[in-house]
Amino acid sequence: MRFNPKSKIEGACKRSETRYAMTSVLLRADARVAELVATDGLILAIVPCELDEGEHVPHGDANPLLLPPEALAEARKQRAKSQPNAHLAINGKTAKCLNGAEFPYREGAFPRVDDVLPSGVPVVKVGLDVGLLKRLADAISTDGKLTMEFHGPHAPVKATGDLGTGVCMPFNTRK
């Protein structure tokens, strides 16, 4: 599996162990696209990646392929400067870096990504936490610029950067 080393997708992961799957990065794929997904329950980041020939990712929510964030960080460090992408070999029960370091997949139920992504025409103003928005921008953008879509007063806000797509949860602006 190859991914853009400029993405800091693991920055969108939860840092505490209360929901173990959310401290991981989900690798999901179908016949058309492969993606890395991370969330901490407040933001959700999605970055495209490429599967290598012969790599298989299980479909559906019942059997998610959860990568430890450390595996992505190590793959990024091991990337040769001449290579455009970082690389993790996806096989069996581990993700393997170019230097031979192996990281076992994690177990758990990852949130249903497609249920969170807003759809429809954006129409409303929403209050956002700038710190969360910055973390999301770091995960899906190289230059900190995001295109924002607002879908309702209490709906998640969809953001698109040059590396991928994400969601930021609104805060209540009423006092």
Pairing of strands 65-67, 86-87: unpaired
What is the spatial distance between Cα 9 and Cα 11, in angstroms, rounded to a whole number?
5
**Residue 57 falls inside a structural domain:** yes
Considering only residues 10 and 20, tell me which one the structure prediction assigns the higher pLDDT: 10
Report, as an integer, the average pLDDT of 98-126: 85
* Residue after which a domain boundary falls, among 111, 126, 156: 111
What is the spatial distance between Cα 129 and Cα 108, in angstroms, rounded to a whole number?
28
pLDDT of residue 175: 47
End-to-end Cα, the chain, rounded Å: 47
Report, as an integer, the average pLDDT of 144-152: 87
pLDDT of residue 153: 73
Residue 24 — very low, low, confident or very high, per pLDDT cuts 50/70/90?
Answer: very high
- The boundaries of the domain holding residue 17 are 2-111
Residue 172 — very low, low, confident or very high, per pLDDT cuts 50/70/90?
Answer: low
Indicate the SS3 state at residue 41. coil
**Residue 173 falls inside a structural domain:** no
Say yes or no to pLDDT of 156 above 90: no
Say yes or no to pLDDT of 173 above 60: no
pTM (2 d.p.): 0.76
Whether residues 140 and 58 fall in one domain? no
Nearest CA to 28 among 111, 145, 137?
A: 111
Whether residues 26 and 83 fall in one domain? yes
Say yes or no to pLDDT of 106 above 80: yes
Angle at 21 between CA 43 and CA 66, to 5 degrees: 100
Cα radius of gyration (the chain): 16
